[in-house]
Amino acid sequence: MNFYSDNEALAFHLHHPGMKKCVDMKERGYAEKDQYDYAPRDFEDAMDNYDKVMEIIGDISANVLAANAEEVDHQGPSVENYRVRYADGTRMNHEKLTQAGVYGIALPRTYGGLNFSMVPYVMAAEIVSRADAGFANIWGLQDCAETIYEFASEEIKREFLPRIHQGATCSMDLTEPDAGSDLQAVQLKATYDEKRQLWMLNGVKRFITNGDAEIKLVLARSEEGTRDGRGLSYFVHDKAWGGVKVRRIENKMGIKGSPTCELVFENAPAKLIGDRKMGLIKYVMTLMNGARLGVGAQSVGLSEAAYREALKYAGEREQFGQAIIKFPAVYEMLAMMRAKTDATRTLLYETSRQVDVSKSYAVLVNEGEKLTPEQRADMKLAQRNADMLTPILKMFSSEYANQNAYDAIQVHGGTGFMKDFPVERLYRDARILTIYEGTSQLQVVAAIRHILNGNLGKYIEELAAHPVKADFAHLTTQLKAMTETLAAAIEQVKGMGSDELIDFHARRLVEIGGHIVMGYLLVQDADRCDCFRKSAEVFIQFSRCEVEKHAAYIRTFVPENIDLYK
């Protein structure tokens, strides 16, 4: 079994035409081939590397992670002497992936990484999540390395980054009992110790995923007397320095293998990342976007797992003298699961490419390279698209993962409610996806301004301009009509004249926009491979009705009636 090679959609997205630009930018003239014996010689060589490393991850995911998932879910982690003890399977998973040398996948080679583009990095997260969405957090927190790489001093980079490839685990310590969605309220205190030339952290963090990690990024209040986000800085703490205790771990509904910790910091030494006061407003916001992309990957991986379980069962289970997959009520559910999975996956990799290009430009700028006006414009566009698509992806993929897990149980009937089949675990694991790293409601907040200011409209225009074969004309015609509906709905909402009404309808607008984007991306996929034709047709059929529903709600809404909802 191999979770990469058994899923043709993955190689399809990995080999998207847009990859040439991503990889060329990441490898910068393929100059490192003379310095590192594992650096690629050219684009084809790099793509071949990606394929081969995805195969390694697909192998370990299918044969180790997936095989351990049930046991990890039952055993879970525990706390002994203020330290987390992972479930046995979790330890084995981490050990195998470390042995395979796949941690630090996106980091530059000079820090022990593989220097891969974001696309295979995100794909690895999807593959791991299909096997065990809970373990995907421990895997995915290597994202912290990205933050260190982008913002920390060279000295801190040299100290911490090479350890990622060796298997050092990470955590990002943001939330506190009174600071969840509202991180401006963070109170954990950072004071500078002149004698030790280190910052000292004191306070409590709560709901910290993988909180006993070796490398911790901690958001703390460095400016005494401040009360908002501008008084917060970002720090790195090494577990070996001591000072952090795990007081307890949460007993959760799902992703049980991933320890969620309450931490007590008592004079825990730390080093400042980047500049003071920029912790929340710059670094955490960047980290958060990466984490949201990670949840997108986790959601798509879980959707894939749910779809496959449901498909298998529906083909095997017989009722009324035939396999239940023969009944319209069942095959419709399966077709929708497949379409939602394909739709969010194509959005996942489109977003990844935009993030990738934008990050590659950021590296050039950081290194003081002068960009041409065309490059500058291209960088801005990629950044804007990345910022816009990330919350749309996070919202849709996590909501669909929940719907798919729900339907996977429904297909199983009473059997699915039992612990004997993996779908009940998928259902529990899925539930957090619409909540952490920003709830769906907060994704709407992040996405809506791009819809109101016309950014999304411009992006949709670009998608519409992409030529496809004539036999997809009936789909693009429908998408054009939906785009007009969106424009009208935006005007109606703006015309209602209050910010509160805009907030009230924001989700409806974001959903309409998301449907159009995923619809166009699916048509492009179907144009490249017939294997996506069905999903494109099924999804756009569904989208038409969803868009119409939301538009009708807005059209018929009487603004004064908002009071009825209070």
Partner 1 sequence: MSFRIVVLAKQVPDTRNVGKDAMKADGTINRAALPAIFNPEDLNALEMAIQMKEKIKDAEVVVLTMGPSRASEIIREAMYRGADGGYLVSDMKFAGADTLATSYTLSMALKKLQPFQVLISGRQAIDGDTAQVGPQTAEKLNMPQITYAEELVDITEKDVTVKRRLERGVETVKSPLPCLVTVHGSAQECRPRHAVRVMKYKYAATPSEAQQRGSDYTEWFSQHPYLQIGEWTAADLDAEPERLGLSGSPTKVKKVDNVVLAHKEASVMPATDEAIDTLIQELMATHVIG
Closest-CA residue to 358 (of 387, 322, 392): 387
Stretch of residues binding partner 1 (CB under 8 A), selected from 50-58, 288-296, 370-378, 524-532: 50-58
Selected from 22, 23, 27, 59, the binder of partner 1 by CB under 8 A is 59
Residue among 19, 22, 84, 114 that touches partner 1 (CB under 8 A)? 114
Give the C-alpha separation, 41 to 38, whole Å: 9
Range in contact with partner 1 (rule: CB under 8 A) among 5-13, 55-63, 418-426, 461-469: 55-63
Q: Which residues contact 35 (CB under 8 A, 6 or more apart)?
A: 109
99 binds partner 1 (CB under 8 A): yes
Q: Map residue 240 onto helix, strand or coil.
A: helix
**Which among 24-32, 40-48, 173-181, 500-508 is the span making contact with partner 1, rule CB under 8 A?**
40-48
Q: Give the residue, chosen from 8, 15, 20, 38, that forms a contact with partner 1 under the rule CB under 8 A.
A: 38
Applying CB under 8 A, does 67 fall inside the site for partner 1? Answer: no
Q: Is 270 in the site for partner 1 (CB under 8 A)?
A: no
Phi and psi (nearest 5°) for 422?
A: -70, -15
Q: Which is nearer to partner 1, 48 or 471 (CB)?
A: 48
Quote the least distance from Cβ 288 to partner 1, whole Å.
28
Helix (H/G/I), strand (E/B), else coil: 222: coil
Query: Does position 52 bind partner 1 by CB under 8 A?
Result: yes
How near is the Cβ of 49 to partner 1 at its closest, in Å? 5
Return the HEC string of 380-424. Answer: HHHHHHHHHHHHHHHHHHHHHHHHHHHHHHHHHHHHHHCCCCCHH
CB of 434 to partner 1, least distance (A): 33
Does 48 participate in binding partner 1 (rule CB under 8 A)? yes
Query: Rule CB under 8 A: is residue 94 a binding residue for partner 1?
Result: no
Long-range contacts of 467-476 (CB under 8 A, 24+ apart): 468/523, 468/524, 468/527, 469/527, 472/523, 472/526, 472/527, 472/536, 475/519, 475/523, 475/536, 475/537, 475/540, 476/520, 476/523
Q: Is 102 in the site for partner 1 (CB under 8 A)?
A: yes
Asked whether position 128 contacts partner 1 by CB under 8 A, the answer is no
Q: Say how far apart CA 557 and CA 29 lie, in whole Å.
A: 56
**Which CB, 60 or 409, lies closer to partner 1?**
60
CB 38 to partner 1: min, Å: 4
What is the nearest approach in angstroms of partner 1 to the Cβ of residue 101? 4
Spell out the long-range contacts of 476-482 with Cβ–Cβ below 8 A and sequence spacing 24 or more: 476/520, 476/523, 478/519, 478/540, 478/544, 479/516, 479/519, 479/520, 479/523, 479/540, 482/512, 482/515, 482/516, 482/519, 482/543, 482/544, 482/547
Which lies closer to partner 1 via its Cβ, residue 39 or residue 278? 39
Determine the interface stretch with partner 1 among 35-43, 325-333, 364-372, 455-463 (rule: CB under 8 A). 35-43
Q: What is the contact surface with partner 1 in residues (CB under 8 A)?
A: 37-41, 48-49, 52-53, 56, 59-60, 96, 99-102, 105, 114
